[in-house]
Structure 1
């Protein structure tokens, strides 16, 4: 697909094919059920109480002769009468989750962006470099090799690494102390 225009339909098709849409659907349902967020639990209770109120005030149940109808007839009439109102409230809650810039909405945006970039052939920016490890203190004698000042973790790379000016001066100072103060032996 590199070089061609990637449409929203292409991205959606890719998300459907790899199961991402189903995964997000499950996450949305769980959040609406209140398994993940306290506010979703409040919404669930609010939706439940609103639905009960709508059913109690429904024209279907308050129509004379409603008590003579079968349960199936009453249920079908209630569904036709109230379904759109209940679904509208649920739809608003789902969109709030999807558009939330902190939780699930952020995750959805990141996944869509990643799929779009992959389909477009756009390179993802490299991840930021990890922070440098804290400097080891010279007092930790177990981790410093005597003679060259390298930590045990650096010993494997020491032969391929150039010594710094500071390391060379430190080594010269140690050799001077071992050989005698300022005494240089001629090389034969």
Structure 2
């Protein structure tokens, strides 16, 4: 009897069915409501609104003003709110960490594995490996002067499609 593969859709369905998605959504909304910077930014946008600062605005009905304000500010306000939501979701210490742990816990439950899938030290290890790779790559890079002196390499590597393209595109006097 083979084990079935747990898909992201399976995890999402489980999170939706057990109410976790709704609980996380509520936490996000509450954190957005508590975000003073977002509130102050929105207030400033309204205060500086062209709609409210246009002569004759005081003669418009509340509904007309509200509709005009919505048309003017809905995009910018939602964009800032969206950025704030993503910051919450990607936060490795707060809600983002909670989301990651919850998804991992559900995946483990569905797949029959034991948490944690990734030991806490693995993130630090991954960063160290990336730094080592980057330093290895930078030591392999050639300077511009080395590339100028080694112009025969393009011709010698003519089996490489990129090299063929380079040779074909270069003017004839540059192919020496």
TM-score (ref. length: structure 2): 0.58
Unaligned 5+ segments in structure 1 are 35-43, 127-188
Structure 1 residue 20, shift from structure 2 partner: 0.4
Structure 2 residue runs of 5 or longer lacking an equivalent are 117-176
Larger Rg: 1
In structure 1, the partner of 2:105 is: 114
Q: How many pairs are equivalent? A: 115
* CA apart distance, 1:5: 2.9
Do 2:38 and 2:80's aligned partners in 1 also have CA atoms closer than 8 Å?
A: yes
CA separation of 1:46/1:123 partners in 2, compared to 1, >3 Å: closer, same or farther?
A: closer
The answer to whether residue 75 in structure 2 is matched with residue 98 in structure 1 is no
Structure 1 residue 83: Cα displacement? 1.1
More helix by share: 2
Supply the RMSD in Å over aligned alpha carbons.
2.1
Structure 1 runs, 4 residues or longer, greater than 6 Å off: none
Give the match's secondary structure for 2:51.
Answer: helix
Q: TM-score, normalised by structure 1?
A: 0.54
Q: How does 1:59-70 map to 2 (within 5 A)?
A: 59-70=50-61
